[in-house]
Amino acid sequence: MLPQHADPIVAIATAPGRGAVGIVRVSGKGLAPFVRALIGREPRPREATYGPWRAADGQAIDHGLSLWFPAPHSYTGEDVLELQGHGGPVVLQLLLARCLEVAQTALPGLRLARAGEFTERAFLNDKLDLAQAEAVADLIDASTEAAARSAARSLAGAFSQRVHALRDALIHLRMLVEATLDFPEEEIDFLQKADAEGQLQRLRSALAQLQAEARQGALLRDGLQVVIAGQPNAGKSSLLNALAGAELAIVTPIAGTTRDVVQQTIQIEGVPLHVTDTAGLRDSPEVDEVERIGIERAWQRIHGADAVLFLHDLTRWREPRYRVGDANILRGLPEGVPVLHVWNKVDQAGDELPRGDSDIVLSAKHGTGLDALRQRLLQLAGWQSGSEGLFMARERHLRALARVGEHLEQAQGLLTRAADQLDLLAEELRLAQHALGEITGEFTADDLLGVIFSRFCIGK
252 is in an annotated binding site: yes
The annotation status of 356 as a binding-site residue, yes or no, is no
Name, in order, each residue with C-beta under 8 angstroms of 264's C-beta and a sequence gap of 6 or more.
Answer: 240, 243, 244, 246, 248, 274, 275
113 annotated ligand-binding residue: no
- Which one, of 285, 276, 279, 273, lies nearest residue 297 by Cα? 279
Contact criterion met (CB below 8 Å) for 94 and 435? no
The whole-angstrom separation of Cα 430 and Cα 378 is 37
235 is in an annotated binding site: yes
Residue 423, φ and ψ in degrees, nearest 5: -65, -40
Q: End-to-end alpha-carbon separation of the chain, Å? A: 19
Say if residue 20 carries a ligand binding annotation.
no
- Whether residue 313 contacts residue 345, with contact meaning beta carbons closer than 8 Å, is answered with yes
Distance CA 366, CA 238 (A): 10
What's the CA gap between 437 and 440, in Å, rounded? Answer: 6
**Is residue 265 marked as binding?**
no
Angle at 345 between CA 343 and CA 349, to 5 degrees: 95
Q: Please, which residues have CB within 8 angstroms of residue 398's CB and are 6 or more apart in sequence?
A: 211, 214, 215, 218
Is 345 annotated for ligand binding?
no
Q: Is 255 among the annotated ligand-binding positions?
A: yes
Query: For 436, phi and psi rounded to 5 degrees?
Result: -65, -40
Q: Are 46 and 111 in contact (CB under 8 A)?
A: no
Q: 29 among the known binding-site residues?
A: no
CA neighbours within 13 Å on the CB side: how many for 206?
18
Query: Does 368 count as an annotated binding residue?
Result: no
25 has binding-site annotation: yes
Residue 45, annotated as binding a ligand:
no
> Cα angle at 182 between 179 and 185, to 5 degrees?
105
Q: Binding site annotation covers 186?
A: no
Confirm or deny that 276 is annotated as ligand binding: no
Omega prior to 108 cis, within 30 of 0: no
Distance CA 234, CA 253 (A): 10
Q: Bin 413: left if φ > 0, else alpha if -120 < ψ < 50, else beta.
A: alpha
The annotation status of 266 as a binding-site residue, yes or no, is no
Q: Which residue positions form the known binding site for (6S)-5-formyl-5,6,7,8-tetrahydrofolate?
A: 25, 82, 127, 460
Q: Which residues belong to the annotated binding site for GTP?
A: 233-238, 252-258, 277-280
Binding residues for K(+): 233, 252, 254, 257
Q: From the annotation, which residues make up the binding site?
A: 25, 82, 127, 233-238, 252-258, 277-280, 460
Residue ranges of the annotated binding site for Mg(2+) are: 237, 258
